[in-house]
Amino acid sequence: MSDFTDEQVKRYSRQIILPQVGGKGQRKLFEAKVLIIGAGGLGSPASLYLAAAGVGHLGIVDSDEVEVSNLQRQILHSTRDVGRPKTSSAKDRLTNLNPDVEVIVHEVRVTSENILNIIKDYDIVIDGSDNFPTRYLVNDACVISRKPLSHGGIFRFDGQAITIIPGKGPCYRCLFPEPPPRGLVPSCQEAGILGAVAGVIGLIQANEVLKFILDIGELLVGKLLIFNALESSFRQVAVPKDKNCPVCGDNPTITELIDYEEFCSLR
Amino acid sequence: MPIKVKIPTPLQKLTKNQAEVESEGKTVQELIDDLEKNYPGIKERICDEKGKVRRFINIYVNEEDVRFLKGDDTPVKDGDEISIIPAIAGGAS
């Protein structure tokens, strides 16, 4: 532990003391590079806890500015940040929380053109995006570049999370082969979300990423975690790898990234 | 014997806001047809024009996805728990 400062040993003492973490685990966290797509309802709790834990390099992708209606759940941002780019607000908040963390800002919207280049330098990706086109793009890009991915989704009082380790377990398309066509999902403007639901799922994602980096416990690989806030219930269903999966199956039909038309975003 | 079916939030408008309803049948297909009788309009949300379960919705018998069992013909019996789980997307803005 000689390369930690006294201050750092104190800061992380409550987790270094865990036999599953220790100085070695803390070093792994320092060296880890995690990309968070979306500095919103899921990305906020996820990035705050990863920064607090001392994950050394956090990339934040977002092209939006903070709006006052975000603040009910997007706890990275404060009232005074309204109108600022979310990436700037996120960087300030995370750096204030823990100056050990390098925050890398990607103030863009991910597309089929840029995503492979953005994810390539990271160890694992957290998808906290707000729409189906991005979610399928992120899944396909991670499968194609064999990049681990923590997926989380929320809708009203429901949440879902799954961890995708390409080559080892199923991907998001093994679970849901195609996004819903336009018009078949309820209007997202009227959907609504309880902030705490985003918090629960975002923290499940942070927890998955910490376990992945530390190489401890069991990941949500091949299992979909389903949370319902009204019942306070968690359940898991089995997600087998689909040999007919269009992107990771035996004869994939998707070999290039697709930009689905944007049809639904929780604005 | 009626079998319990868990209805996802987006479809609860059709089930009078009930998160769990009862349905009768020996297979997943029969359960869906019986649901349609009691909650008209629900089938077209779950199935496409050909009657196949849509590709962004899964049906589970207990913890198993019926696509990896016998699909719509998967048998169901008293005491099984059926869940309809759609893909959900929200997260950021």
Q: Which residues of B touch A62 (CB under 8 A)?
A: 92
Calpha distance A231→B18 (Å, rounded): 13
Tell whether B22 is covered by a domain. Answer: yes
- Chain-chain contact of B65 with A152 (C-beta, under 8 angstroms): no
Q: What is the pLDDT of residue A267?
A: 34
Q: Quick one: pLDDT band at residue B1, thresholds 50, 70, 90?
A: confident
Return the bridge partners of B61, or none.
B64, B82
The answer on pLDDT for B91 being more than 80 is no
Calpha distance A210→A55 (Å, rounded): 8
Q: What is the pLDDT of residue A265?
A: 42
From B58, B68, B90, residue closest to A130, measured CB to CB: B90
- Chain-chain contact of B91 with A239 (C-beta, under 8 angstroms): no
pLDDT digits (tens, 9 = 90+) for B3-13: 999 999 889 99
From B8, B9, B91, residue closest to A130, measured CB to CB: B91
Q: Two tokens at A251?
A: 């004869």
Return the bridge partners of B3, or none.
B23
Mean pLDDT for chain B overall: 92
Q: What is the pLDDT of residue B4?
A: 95
Calpha distance A109→A100 (Å, rounded): 27
Tell whether B77 is covered by a domain. Answer: yes
- Chain-chain contact of B92 with A155 (C-beta, under 8 angstroms): no
In degrees rounded to 5, what are phi and psi of residue A143?
-65, -45
What residue in A sits closest to B82 (Cα-Cα)? Answer: A237
| Interface residue A104 vs chain B (CB under 8 A) | no
| Interface residue A175 vs chain B (CB under 8 A) | yes
What is the span of the domain harbouring residue B10?
Answer: 3-86
Tell whether B73 is covered by a domain. Answer: yes
Cβ atoms of A260 and A179 closer than 8 Å: yes
One-letter amino acid for residue B80 of the chain: D
- Nearest-Cα distance to chain A for B17, in Å, is 13
Cβ atoms of B41 and B49 closer than 8 Å: no
Which residue intervals of chain B are DSSP H helices? 28-38, 42-46
Q: What is the pLDDT of residue A186?
A: 53
ipTM: 0.89
- Nearest-Cα distance to chain B for A169, in Å, is 15
| Interface residue B91 vs chain A (CB under 8 A) | yes
Calpha distance A210→A137 (Å, rounded): 24
Tell whether B93 is covered by a domain. Answer: no
Tell whether B34 is covered by a domain. Answer: yes
Tell whether B91 is covered by a domain. Answer: no
Tell whether B92 is covered by a domain. Answer: no
Tell whether B46 is covered by a domain. Answer: yes
- Chain-chain contact of A239 with B55 (C-beta, under 8 angstroms): no
User: A195-214 and A22-31 helices cross at what angle (nearest 10)?
Assistant: 110
Q: What is the pTM of this model?
A: 0.93
* Structural domains counted in chain B: 1
Q: Where are the extended beta strands (E) located within A63-121?
A: 102-106
pLDDT digits (tens, 9 = 90+) for B31-70: 999 999 999 999 999 999 998 999 999 999 999 999 999 9
Q: What is the pLDDT of residue A233?
A: 94
User: A86-97 and A43-52 helices cross at what angle (nearest 10)?
Assistant: 30
Calpha distance A212→A126 (Å, rounded): 12
Length of chain B: 93
Q: What is the pLDDT of residue B93?
A: 46
Q: What is the pLDDT of residue A182?
A: 67
Give the CATH number, domain containing residue B18: 3.10.20.30
Low-confidence ranges of chain A (pLDDT < 50): 1, 187-188, 264-267
Q: What is the pLDDT of residue B89?
A: 81
CATH number of A15-238: 3.40.50.720
In degrees rounded to 5, what are phi and psi of residue B21?
-130, 170
